[in-house]
Structure 1
Amino acid sequence: IESYWEAFRGSRLVPKRSEIDPRGIEHALEYTFVLERIAIRMARFRIAGSHLCNIMGMEVRGMPLSSFITPSGRETLGSVLEDVFQSPSACELEMEAEVGRKKPAMEARMVLMPLRSDLGDVSRILGCFVAKGELGT
């Protein structure tokens, strides 16, 4: 997904959302998502692959990205989102789930890459989220 985004970006800082064609990333669609900025430091899922829905145990479209993060990590996530939207620049995050009773270890990698909307503002993110480990109950 990163190389796909880079190819569309070319010499520009940020590619347009309308240029993204799911057929170009069909091998990774289950891990792919598109976020929409809804407020400062906040974004919600407009489109989300099945991997994300399986991890959450529900459809995540419309939910804020922060719903994937423990409350203690949401401030950091908000800062990362602002960097992606404002710089604009791509960001890669390494994540770990909290381990506890009925919560096995899980590691994840998330990549966030800015996109321009049809209006020209940087208010979308093309993302990829891959988690490894067992889901808790």
Structure 2
Amino acid sequence: MAASNLCPVFAYTVIYVTDVAKSVAFYAKAFDYTVRTLDHSHRWGELESGQTTKAFTRLHQHETDELTGSVQTPSSPQRQPIEVCFAYADVDAAYKRAVENGAVPVSEPEDKEWGATYKHRNKGNG
């Protein structure tokens, strides 16, 4: 995956979860992704998802500063929330599949005034 100086390629979305193996298994099954990797310690997992990899790591995982190599800890005990969006031609079928595979529904899919259909799911599965 090459990137030019003017247009870098967005390569990863990292999702911090409490259980990497459970989260990787859920997203693979519920959204039909292929597992790229799940390390033996279950501290890191990746899903094949096109050009951008969806990666999972433990919520309390430390971060490494790229310039100095020193280990950084998060500045607050909780990380910022993240919204993960999937695009489907049939949102209702995708919603049903996610719930059948363990997603906890918050609301049914709903049409928005700008033409999109959204469904919300609470955190869990990770």
TM-score normalised according to structure 2 size: 0.24
- Say which structure is richer in helix: 1
Q: Which has the higher contact order (CA 8 A, sep 6+)?
A: 1
